[in-house]
Amino acid sequence: MQAKAIKGFTSIFLLLLLIIMGCGPRLPKKALERTKQVKISYGKTDSELNIALTNLLKCPTRIIINSSKDLPWKIIQLKPQQDTVLNITWREAIPEISFGAEYGDPSIPVKDVPIEFPVSRKRDIRILQGYYGSLSHHQDMSKFALDFSLPVGDTLYAATSGYVVEVVEGYKDGANEESWIEFGNKILFYNSASNRFFLYSHLVQKGSFVSPGEYIEAGQPIGLSGNTGYSSKPHLHFAVLIADKLPGGLTSVPFDFVGGYKGEQFRTNSVLPKQ
């Protein structure tokens, strides 16, 4: 009798465990398609290979050209909203060509100008991770990032002025697993005066107030915090990025806030005091 009771309890426990596991967020099958911000086409005349490039963005963009043949150009640097046509003398069959794009221009000087806080100062805010945070701030794109603990739906503010480069807002869920890293909502914008990009990650679904190409002012509300992508709890992942020749095209850099605050002073579990 006791054995039957134990067996019945075990079955119920396993059933509940399966139900709980089944209720968790499921990893999306594929990433959302990004807005086509660079137009690329190519063809061949009798003696020339013609490559036409159009940068629709209001920030510099690098076009990476990969080919089965040795072409004279490997990386084409485009200015904001620039069109370029390359005419390459070429009498052979059209080679296999693939294109990639990376934001920014590493040759433009970077200015380290203090920025506004991207969050409200009406209450104390705990820092979940600071520079080189052991949980996930160990890649070039994140080593100088700050994670602000925020409830879902908190308003986020532009740290400086600039043009919006990229908005992703279609994801609903997140999980504390690295496989979710490409499935979070974000806003990325570019400030030409300092040649820096500003990244806001983990926003709530449909939580952006801005669109690609839009000009925003410092302090302007731009979105709502969330818990999407690679995230263990609701927060804002904030980073300042510059163009780099490393794979991926952008790398994070240290930054200072107005009022004499330095990003490096906000270590894991420290507090940004209310104002």
Q: How far from 124 is each of 37, 118, 155, 271, CA to CA, in Å?
A: 39, 14, 15, 6
Give me the DSSP letters along 123-137.
Answer: S-EEEEE-TT-TTT-
- Stated pTM of the model: 0.88
Q: Label residue 11 by pLDDT band (50, 70, 90).
A: low
* pLDDT score of 23: 54
pLDDT at 106 over 60: yes
pLDDT digits (tens, 9 = 90+) for 115-136: 999 999 999 999 999 898 778 7
Q: What is the DSSP letter of 148?
A: E
Report which residue type is found at 28.
P
- What token pair was written down for 27? 């990893």
Q: Are 174 and 227 in contact (CB under 8 A)?
A: yes
Q: What is the pLDDT of residues 217-267, one digit of tens each?
A: 999 999 999 999 889 899 999 999 999 987 779 999 999 999 999 999 999
Inform me whether the pLDDT recorded for 65 exceeds 60.
yes
- pLDDT of 17 over the 50 cut: no
Domains of the chain: 38-103 (2.60.40), 125-272 (2.70.70.10)
pLDDT at 21 exceeding the cut of 60: no
Q: What is the DSSP string of 63-115?
A: EEEEESS--S-SEEEE-TT-EEEEEEE--SPPPPEEEEEEE--TTSPP----B
pLDDT at 22 over 60: no
